[in-house]
């Protein structure tokens, strides 16, 4: 059965994934909007930087984040100067790492969704007197529902499965920075296969159900469009 510290790890993981997803949806929206609409030459550079976590081993990212967060690192110094607690081995540090690590999984679906929207609906809304923010809320958001759902699910699921970055910058402190994926690893190391099964199996079934819901919603929207 699940033990207390497994449940703690589960709660930390869900909190981490939820926080990361919310931050990413907020931060990712303007980035994706800019990428979808800009004619700037900087676009490909920014796109490449955001896509880096897709190809880099998480340990590489974790390593550099750890250096940056360390008391001598640029981020560490800035944080210390502001009188805030260190980011390394803290939940806040994990959130920051996860935001960077899961960024492409949120930005790319949003960007695709904004591109496929085209300019026309926004131009129509503008001629009908809608301001920029009004256009975004009344036209872009409802027409990008599927993009947001996909982005949220992918961002959440990807943060759920994070291992390398968390291990490097989180330090696997039970009750603070120990997440599910690392708890599973610990159980396996300790040959506690039964407990590893509970966690791993739970994660497997949970992830499957979430994806099933997304594809189901996707299909319904698709059917509605063709009906």
Partner 1 sequence: MIEVELHLQRSEFQLNVEFSVPGHGVSAVFGPSGCGKTTLLRAIAGLEPDATGSLEVNGRKWQSPLKRLPVEARGVGLVFQHPSLFPHLTVEENLFYGMKRLRKVSNPFDIKELILILGIEQLLKRHPDSLSGGELQRVALGRALLAEPKLLLMDEPLSMLDQASREILMQLLESFLQQIDIPVLYVTHSSEEVARLADNLVLLSRGGVTACGPTTTVLASLNSELSRSESAFSVLQGRISNKELSGLLSVECSDGIDLKVPASESMVAKHYNLGRAVRLRIRARDVSICLERPQQSSILNILPAVIMEISTSSDSGSRVIKLDIAGMHILSKISDYSVQQLGLHTGQAVFAQIKSASLV
DSSP 82: T
Residue 156 CA to residue 105 CA, distance in Å, equals 9
Segment contacting partner 1 by CB under 8 A, of 45-53, 65-73, 84-92, 128-136: 128-136
From the number of C-beta atoms within 10 Å of its C-beta (0-12, 13-18, 19+), residue 209 rates as: exposed
Given candidates 10, 46, 56, 143, which one binds partner 1 under the rule CB under 8 A? 143
Q: Which stretch binds partner 1 (CB under 8 A): 68-76, 89-97, 121-129, 189-197?
A: 121-129
Applying CB under 8 A, among 14, 60, 75, 130 the residue interacting with partner 1 is 130
How many CA within 13 A on the CB side of residue 183? 29
222 binds partner 1 (CB under 8 A): no
Interface with partner 1, residue 218, by CB under 8 A: no
Contact window for partner 1 (CB under 8 A) among 71-79, 101-109, 122-130, 180-188 = 122-130
Asked if 142 touches partner 1 (CB under 8 A), the answer is yes
Element (H, E) at 38: none
Shortest Cβ 129–partner 1 spacing (Å): 4
Q: Concatenated DSSP letters for 139-154?
A: IIHHHTHHHHHHHHHH
Distance of CA 116 to the CA centre of its chain: 22
User: Quick check: 134 binds partner 1 (CB under 8 A)?
Assistant: yes
Closest contact distance (angstroms) between CB of 136 and partner 1 is 13
The string over 81-114, giving b where at least 16 C-beta atoms fall within 10 Å of a residue's C-beta and e elsewhere, is eeeeeebbbbbebbbbbbbbbbbbbbbbbbbbbb
Q: Is 80 in the site for partner 1 (CB under 8 A)?
A: no
Binding site for partner 1 (CB under 8 A): 120-121, 123-131, 134, 138-139, 142-143, 225
């Amino acid at each position: 059965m699940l033990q207390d510290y497994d449940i703690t790890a589960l709660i930390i993981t869900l909190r981490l994934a939820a926080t990361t997803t919310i931050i990413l949806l907020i931060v990712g929206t303007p980035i994706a909007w800019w990428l979808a609409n800009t004619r700037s030459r900087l676009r490909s550079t920014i796109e490449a930087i955001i896509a880096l976590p897709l190809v880099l081993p998480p340990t590489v990212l974790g390593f550099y984040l750890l250096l940056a967060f360390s008391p001598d690192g640029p981020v560490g110094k800035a944080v210390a100067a502001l009188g805030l607690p260190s980011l390394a081995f803290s939940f806040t540090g994990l959130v920051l790492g996860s935001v960077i690590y899961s960024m492409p999984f949120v930005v790319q679906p949003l960007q695709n969704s904004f591109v496929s929207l085209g300019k026309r609906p926004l131009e129509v809304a503008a001629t009908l007197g809608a301001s920029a923010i009004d256009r975004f809320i009344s036209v872009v958001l409802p027409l990008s529902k599927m993009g947001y759902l996909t982005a949220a699910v992918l961002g959440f699921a990807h943060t759920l499965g994070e291992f390398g970055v968390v291990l490097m910058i989180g330090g696997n402190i039970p009750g603070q920075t120990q997440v599910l994926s690392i708890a599973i690893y610990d159980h396996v190391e300790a040959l506690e296969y039964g407990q590893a099964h509970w966690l791993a199996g739970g994660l497997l079934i949970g992830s499957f159900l979430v994806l099933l819901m997304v594809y189901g919603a996707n299909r319904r929207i698709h059917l509605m469009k063709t009906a």
